[in-house]
Structure 1
Amino acid sequence: MATDRVMVITGGSRGIGASTALLAAKAGYRVVVNYASNAQAAEDIVGQIEALGSKAIAVKGDVASEADIIALFEAADSFGQLSALINNAGVILHPMPVVDMTAERIEKSFRINVLGSYLCAREAIKRMARSRGGAGGAIINLTSAAAKLGSPKENVDYAGTKGAIDTFTVGLAKEVAMEGIRVCAVRPGIIDTEIHASGGQPDRLQRVVPTLTMQRAGTAEEVAKAIMWLASDDAAYSTGAILDVSGGRAILP
Structure 2
Amino acid sequence: MKIALVTGASRGIGRATALLLAQRGYQVAVNYHQRAQAADEVVRLIEQAGGSAFSVQANIADEAQVMAMFRRIDQQPGELSALVNNAGILFQQATIEQLTAERINRLFSTNVTGSFICCREAIRRMAWHHGGKGGAIVNVSSAAARLGAPGEYIDYAASKGAMDTLTKGLSLEVAAQGVRVNGVRPGFIYTEMHADGGEADRVNRVAPAIPMQRGGQAAEIASAVVWLLSDEASYITGSIIDAAGGR
* TM-score for the superposition, normalised by structure 1: 0.96
Distance 2:111 2:198 in 1: 18
- Aligned match of 2:233: 235
- Aligned match of 2:92: 94
Which digits, 9 at most, give the CA deviation of each residue in 1:123-160, with x for residues without a partner? 00000010001000001001100000001111000000
The answer to whether the 8 A contact 2:167-2:182 is kept is: yes
Distance 1:78 1:233 in 2: 26
> Offset at 1:207?
1.3
Equivalences for residues 163-202 of structure 1 within 5 A: 163-202=161-200
- Aligned match of 1:20: 17
Residue number among 109, 117, 127 corresponding to 1:111 in the alignment: 109
- Aligned match of 1:128: 126
Equivalences for residues 155-170 of structure 1 within 5 A: 155-170=153-168
- Aligned match of 1:38: 35
> Offset at 1:18?
0.5
- Aligned match of 2:2: 5
Which digits, 9 at most, give the CA deviation of each residue in 1:6-33, with x for residues without a partner? 0000001110000001100110000000
- Aligned match of 2:73: 76
Residue number among 244, 247, 250 corresponding to 2:245 in the alignment: 247
Distance 2:156 2:128 in 1: 34
Q: Structure 2 counterpart of 1:16, which letter? A: I
Q: Structure 2 counterpart of 1:26, which letter? A: Q
Which digits, 9 at most, give the CA deviation of each residue in 1:177-232, with x for residues without a partner? 11100000000000001010122111212211111111100000000000000000
Unmatched 5+ stretches in structure 1: none
CA RMSD of superposed structures (Å)? 0.7
Aligned-residue sequence identity (percent) comes to 53
Figure out how many residues of one structure are paired with residues of the other and give that number.
Answer: 246
The answer to whether the 8 A contact 2:204-2:215 is kept is: no
Which digits, 9 at most, give the CA deviation of each residue in 1:219-247, with x for residues without a partner? 00000000000000000000000001100
- Aligned match of 1:55: 52
Q: Secondary structure at the match of 1:111?
A: helix
The answer to whether the 8 A contact 2:8-2:86 is kept is: yes
- Aligned match of 2:143: 145
Q: Secondary structure at the match of 2:83?
A: strand
Distance 2:204 2:13 in 1: 20
Deviating above 6 A after TM superposition, structure 1's stretches of 4 or more consecutive aligned residues are none
> Offset at 1:53?
1.3
* TM-score for the superposition, normalised by structure 2: 0.98
Q: Structure 2 counterpart of 1:198, which letter? A: D
Unmatched 5+ stretches in structure 2: none
